[in-house]
Amino acid sequence: MTTVGWLSCSQADVPDGDGWLSPREQATLAALRLERRRMDWRLGRWTAKRAVRAWLGACAPGALDAVEIIAAPDGAPEAFVAGRAEPPALSLSHRDGVAVCTVAPSKTAIGCDIEAVEAHSDAFVTDWFTEEERAAVQASPLSSRALVTALVWSGKESALKALREGLRLDTRDVVVRFGVSPWSDGLRWESFTVVGPSGRSCFAGRWRHHLGHVLTVVTPAPWDSDPAALVGSASPHRGLCSSTRLPLS
């Protein structure tokens, strides 16, 4: 059985100084000009480093700057861990001051995404969704359309990250499918699948609500039907930080 871990941090968790960033990471940060982008990037790095450290457990290096999160040429984040030849795979998303990092065994094609649940125009759905996805949105109750739209979009972004392509691919190249009504309460993990370009790949997904957003995560492996939260902690003075390991079959 494979496991996936996830960890979420908010802007308030991120320390003011940059001593926890490695020299390579500090050089990347120095090249980012927009303050908003710098804040998102630092939040993502803080979350990812903590997630990778939590994943490695007792084997993790002591200092946070010994876990580096470096973008590969295609843009996908990769972990480099001092003294470890095969670091875990990860995926990152940040939105509205909240970041999520998902971690999986080395070389797993993993993708995650958080999205706000908000109204979108019909044109958005027409332009970015497949016919099948448009039909799913149309078939959902009016009160759930924003949620279903957010889930389809987030599922797509997760799959496009797992493929390491992002928006270089047409969003209509991947098809998000929900086996049961996606408009359940979402307070626990729910299932969905994503069929990749030309049906060549298929991803198994999980989604849930998270801090007023939806969170999706996909991997190529099928998921266990009953994922369990293994760890959860909150740092009351610095905002929410929680991690969960989800079993995959």
Ligand X SMILES: CC(C)(COP(=O)(O)OP(=O)(O)OC[C@H]1O[C@@H](n2cnc3c(N)ncnc32)[C@H](O)[C@@H]1OP(=O)(O)O)[C@@H](O)C(=O)NCCC(=O)NCCS
DSSP E strand boundaries for 32-88? 67-71, 77-81
Query: Which residue among 15, 19, 75, 212 contacts ligand X (CB under 6 A)?
Result: 75
Dihedral angle of Cα 20, 165, 225, 207, to the nearest 10 degrees: 70
Interface with ligand X, residue 166, by CB under 6 A: yes
Interface with ligand X, residue 24, by CB under 6 A: no
Residue 53 CB, shortest distance to ligand X, in Å, is 17
Report the residue closest to ligand X, judged by CB.
Answer: 166
CA distance 210 to 224: 20
Q: Which residue carries 């307070």 as its tokens? A: 187
Interface with ligand X, residue 197, by CB under 6 A: no
Query: Which residue among 20, 22, 44, 140 contacts ligand X (CB under 6 A)?
Result: 44
Interface with ligand X, residue 157, by CB under 6 A: yes
Nearer to ligand X, 15 or 166 (CB): 166
Q: Which residue carries 């609500």 as its tokens? A: 209
Encoded one letter per residue, x for contact with ligand X by CB under 6 A and - for no contact, window 229-248 reads --------------------
Helix H or strand E segment including 147: helix 145-162
Q: How many CA atoms lie within 13 A of 15 on its CB side?
A: 9
The 3-class secondary structure across 21-40, one letter per residue, is CCHHHHHHHHCCCCHHHHHH
Q: Tell me the window of 5-13, 143-151, 155-163, 217-225 that interacts with ligand X (CB under 6 A).
A: 155-163
DSSP state, residue 84: B
CA distance 101 to 114: 10
Interface with ligand X, residue 76, by CB under 6 A: yes
Query: Which residue among 135, 167, 228, 234 contacts ligand X (CB under 6 A)?
Result: 167
Nearer to ligand X, 100 or 125 (CB): 100
Query: Which residues of this protein are in contact with ligand X, per CB under 6 A?
Result: 40-41, 44, 71, 74-77, 92-95, 113, 157, 160-161, 164-168
